[in-house]
Amino acid sequence: MRWKGRRGSRNIEDRRGRRMGLVGGGGLGVVAIVVIGALFGVDLTPLLQGGSAGLAPPTSSAPVTEADEQAAEFVSVTLADTEEVWQGIFARQLDTRYRPATLVLFKGVTQSPCGGASGATGPFYCPADNKIYLDTQFFTTMRDRLGAGGDFAAAYVVAHEVAHHVQHELGILGEANRLRRAVSERESNAISVRIELQADCFSGIWARLADQKFNSLEPGDIEEAMNAARQIGDDTLQRSAGRVPRPHTFTHGTSEQRQRWFATGYQSGDIRECDTFSARTL
């Protein structure tokens, strides 16, 4: 992805290098992950249940490195790209104004109204404060643990969390969550899958329109995003953890579904093509 020298977003809240009043430790880390799993993050619980595949416990005082700074700059430009693209879509396709999300950069652990956040667990969106929580260390986890390396894989993850904010702005997230509270766990998971696949579709729209605006895509970028979508599919994550995939426990969709919905958004660039809630087949 071409991003150097481009404008970064102002909507970044940098909490790195700050000690939060949260005691670290493996147990708490796992609790935080379970909470976050329900909150539009990249759900890594299958990996954590895999024993030896467990991720490193979070630390709250890790220094901010040069690599962190690079990653933060990259995230800031990517976030700015999403703001321009979604402002355009809201104005043209929806006749309303887009209010951007704030992205919280943290390192180790931090707190959110949606619960504690731990860097090893993956980024998530919290609708209660309209904020995306991201430890850029997760990009390393993606590359080393999930086989999802590449800068555009990272951009896809940022775009996916922004997509949850877009869903929140459109009232989709609130409605879906109300529904989820009223049904069985199995049905709630099925609704979650529709939310997540729509976020993947929105991410595809973003990839297309950002490229049109900024000429940002390089050869191999879309493949990086598609590979990431495959690696974080529920069936693949469960299989990586040495388990037989159990579809009724899926909350994000299979690898094939996640790739296909990203591709649908990318190929169409049209928000109406992303109606996973009316789709007969996902």
Binding residues for Zn ion, rule: CB under 5 A, are 40, 196, 199
Minimum distance between the CB of residue 197 and Zn ion, rounded to whole angstroms? 9
CA triple 120-126-129, angle to 5 deg: 130
Q: Which two tokens stand for residue 82?
A: 């999403």
State which residue has the least CB distance to Zn ion.
Answer: 40
* CB nearer Zn ion, residue 68 or residue 123: 123
* CB nearer Zn ion, residue 60 or residue 167: 167
* CB nearer Zn ion, residue 196 or residue 211: 196
- Distance in Å from the first CA to the final CA of the chain: 29
Which 3 state secondary structure label does DSSP give 141? helix
Minimum distance between the CB of residue 124 and Zn ion, rounded to whole angstroms? 7
Minimum distance between the CB of residue 95 and Zn ion, rounded to whole angstroms? 26
* CB nearer Zn ion, residue 151 or residue 196: 196
Question: Could you tell me the sign of the dihedral formed by the alpha carbons of 123, 125, 129, 131, in that order?
Answer: positive
Q: Can you list the alpha helix ranges (DSSP code H) found in 38-118?
A: 45-48, 66-93
* CB nearer Zn ion, residue 68 or residue 232: 232
Whether 156 contacts 229, CB under 8 Å = yes
Residue 266 CA to residue 282 CA, distance in Å, equals 17
Minimum distance between the CB of residue 153 and Zn ion, rounded to whole angstroms? 15
Minimum distance between the CB of residue 251 and Zn ion, rounded to whole angstroms? 9
